[in-house]
Amino acid sequence: MEARKHIRISAWFAVLALGIAAASAARAADESLADGARKAGHAVGTTAREAWHEGKKAGKDIGHGAAKVGKEVGHGAAKVGKEIGHGATKAGRAVGKAAKEGALELKRAITGEK
């Protein structure tokens, strides 16, 4: 969402620069051609720098957002893995206990103990 805002701002700066360039070109009849071209070039260069800066800020915002999401996903995965590990431990203990009881019952059946 933030990146789209930066792109729209950059587009408006570009439109503004073209308007300034057109106005400078229209006044070129009164001024020297070189001076008008210099002013138009300066306006376009300034706008290009501002658009680059806004794009850079948008990229940085996107990067920070992606890092934050990645970190949250990693924490969630660790939490789920820990819960699975605890569940597997409990299940393993229950199976072991049942196997031990089954073995004792089998021994008692063979030896005739009660």
Q: What pLDDT, in 10s, does the model give residues 66-99? A: 899 899 888 889 899 999 999 999 999 999 999 9
Structure confidence at residue 41 as a pLDDT band (50, 70, 90): confident
Q: In b/e form, how buried is each residue of 104-114, taking b as 16+ CB within 10 angstroms?
A: eeeeeeeeeee
**Could you state, in order of their start, the residue ranges of all structural domains in the chain?**
2-111
What is the mean pLDDT of the segment spanning 27-40?
Answer: 67
**pLDDT the model gives residue 3:** 63
Contacts of residue 108, defined as CB under 8 A and 6 or more positions apart, other chains included, come to: 114
pLDDT, position 55: 82
Tell whether pTM > 0.85: no
Q: What is the DSSP string of 8-60?
A: HHHHHHHHHHHHHHHHHHHGGGTS-HHHHHHHHHHHHHHHHHHHHHHHHHHHH
Burial 19-49, CB ≥16 within 10 A → b, else e: ebbeebeeebeeeeeeebeebbeebbeebee
The whole-angstrom separation of Cα 34 and Cα 66 is 47
Judged against a pLDDT cut of 60, whether residue 39 lies above it is answered with: yes
Position 47 scores a pLDDT of 83
